[in-house]
Amino acid sequence: MKKIYGLLLVLLMAGFLLGAGCTSTDTTQKPVDTASEKPAVTITPTEAPSEKVLRVGDLWAVSSINPGDGHDGGTFVTEKAIVTETLIGANDKFELTPNLALSWYQVDDTTWEFKIRPGVHFHNGKEMKAADVKASLDRTANLSPSTATLMSYDRCEVVDDYTIRIHTKELNPLVPGILHYPDTAIVSGDSYAADGTFTHPIGTGPMKVESFDEQTGTLTVVKNTDWWKGQANFDKMIIRGYESPATRAMMIENGDLEFTCDPPYSEVDRLDAIDGIRVEKYNTPRLYKIDCNLNNPVMADKNVRKAISHAIDRTGIAKNVLYGVGSPAGGVFIPSMKWKNTTLQPYEYNVSLAKQYLAESGWTDTNNDGYVDKKGEPLTLKFFTYTERPGLPPMQEAISANLENIGIKVEQVAMENAVLSKAMGDDWDLYLSATNLAMVPDPEYVLKGWYSTNGVSNKAKYSNPVVDRMIIDGHRIVNETERYDHFRKIEAIVYDDLPTINVAYYGVAIVMKDNVTGYTFDPTAHDYRIDPGMSIS
């Protein structure tokens, strides 16, 4: 660059001399870099001629780059910034695969042993060894009690430089799957200052942190030339969150981004038709579902929930609202998950049957105004969703129209996720979300969290003693075939009970510039995973 700036100075001086009356007309003469005696290259000072930069527009404002803090940092830093890596990977069938750990086995009911991959180095050049892995997992357990509880984490023991043993407080077959969870990504102790303050993640991934602007939420990462798998095909990535789907679409159309996802689905075909832009659609482990507030006596009525489910035109929503970026949902799990109960089909769209269920619970239109009522009170439901994911607000509108069609009045509220919970409080009936199914590649993770009485994600406040008992029993089943069969039975029970109403399986629309090639989608990622094998021309 010093040579280039020197050249610019020469060019400027030459221009000045010509303007001052230099009479040379030799147009074949070229300015020469006197330091190298080679023909100079004209370039603007802000350009780096060979640097390949990928500019990414994420769905969410970047609030954390600490993978172990139990918030959004893990998913962002591990899957999107690809700075950190987990011990365990997963393939497109959601089967666990080696990653930073080469192998693992269960020593006894409360002990798992993991062999650590030798020759892996952190971004600061230090080799990752068992002591580093132990320290990283200990910090995660301390920073994120929910992750520690999920793992039943007791302690981690260093056996030798490349072997650790994780001790749990009770039998936990989920341990290897939990180590695929982005929050358990391994970071060097040098990610923390002497006083314990987190500075930035020093991981083992294909990219390493260059800077993070907390004011704008902009993270800049550069290529790790000592990555154990090789090297990324681009030099730098600048990633920032833009929570409006329309903004993401506008920015890639204007040339401000090379990569983003989930523009307004109504814009997908138009964007794909623009010269220089393409859209690729993929299935991802996420479910559009409606939580029903069972604390509300109306929603506690199973007939009302069945009426709602039969009133929803899932096929029409997938085609005309999601524009094919998604498909109708039956059971909880997506078809590619090997533990899915394949007998559970989407509830039939049947307006007459929906009205029949309402009538069985005394909800009929007594005054012919088009709405059902009971004892003079109309059936009115408060229906909430958030705006960051482009499918949610239009789905809310379509579902509300379906419910109005069977005589239910709907009050719709859609707002940013950051303020939604406070706005809802306890005064809600229906909550539409797009919820991940594969943080841990095992059916227990979702079914326990959503449907056990004290489940951490049991927004519906569902309580079924039979389900509670089955989840406890299933936790102790280690044999994979028996385990999956057991949890399929639980999936069937909640499918029938409808504490949550499954609407559609999520599809993601990846939008890229045509100069980005070689992208491979990871179907186990929570939105998408940046592929270090991508090239930018």
Burial 385-398 (b: 16+ CB within 10 A, else e): bbbbbbbbbbbbbb
What are the pLDDT digits (tens) for 91-112?
Answer: 988 999 999 999 999 999 999 9
Ramachandran angles phi, psi of 404, nearest 5°: -60, -30
DSSP state of 277: E
* Fold match, 63-191 / 207-283+509-536: yes
**Closest Cα partner for 178 from 87, 113, 105?**
87
Fold of 284-507: Dipeptide-binding Protein; domain 3 (3.10.105)
Beta bridge partners of residue 286, listed in sequence order: 436
pLDDT, tens digit, 9 for 90 and up, residues 20-37: 333 333 333 333 332 333
- Encode pLDDT of 283-330 as tens digits: 899 999 999 999 999 999 999 999 999 999 999 999 999 999 999 999
Is residue 238 classed exposed, middle or buried when 0-12, 13-18 and 19+ CB atoms within 10 A define those classes?
Answer: middle
Q: Domain ranges in the chain?
A: 2-39, 63-191, 207-283+509-536, 284-507
108, 250, 98: which is closest to 179 by C-alpha?
98
Average pLDDT over residues 165-182: 95
Exposed/middle/buried for residue 520 (C-beta within 10 Å: 0-12, 13-18, 19+): exposed
Q: Is the pLDDT of residue 357 over 80?
A: yes
Whole-angstrom CA distances from 170 to 140, 150, 156, 325, 376 are 19, 11, 14, 41, 54
Q: Write down the pLDDT at residue 17.
A: 35
CA distance 401 to 404: 5
Q: How far apart are CA 180 and CA 285, in angstroms?
A: 14
- Chain centroid, CA 209 distance in Å: 20
Architecture of domain 207-283+509-536: 3-Layer(aba) Sandwich (3.40)
**Average pLDDT across the chain, whole number:** 89
Res. 5 pLDDT band, cuts 50 70 90: very low
Estimate to the nearest angstrom the gap between the alpha carbon of 294 and the chain centroid. 28
Q: 303 vs 80, 297, 342, 476, CA distance in Å?
A: 43, 12, 24, 34
User: 198 vs 114, which has greater pLDDT?
Assistant: 114
pLDDT tens across 371-381, in order? 999 998 999 99
Cα(505)–Cα(324) distance, rounded to whole angstroms?
A: 11
Measured from the Cβ of residue 281, the count of other Cβ atoms closer than 10 Å reads: 17
Secondary structure of residue 393 in the 3-state scheme: helix
Q: Is the pLDDT of residue 536 over 80?
A: yes
Instruction: Compute CA distances 192 → 133, 197, 222, 409, whole Å.
Output: 15, 5, 20, 54
What's 183's DSSP letter? Answer: G
CA separation for the pair 59, 358 (Å, rounded): 39
Whether 6 has a pLDDT exceeding 90, the answer reads no
Q: Quick one: CATH architecture of 63-191? A: 3-Layer(aba) Sandwich (3.40)
**CA-to-CA distance for 15 and 10, rounded, in angstroms?**
9
For range 257-271, the mean pLDDT: 95
Query: Rounded to an integer, what distance in angstroms lies between the CA atom of residue 165 and that of residue 87?
Result: 13
Rounded to whole angstroms, the Cα distance separating 359 from 253 reads 51
**CA gap 226, 126 in Å, rounded:** 11
What pTM was estimated for this model as a whole? 0.83
pLDDT of res. 43: 29
- Burial of residue 321 (CB within 10 Å: 0-12, 13-18, 19+) is buried
Which residues are registered as beta bridge partners of 261?
510
Q: Going along 227-293, which residue ranges are E strands?
A: 236-241, 259-261, 277-292
Tell me which residue of 132, 189, 186 sits closest to 163, measured CA to CA: 132
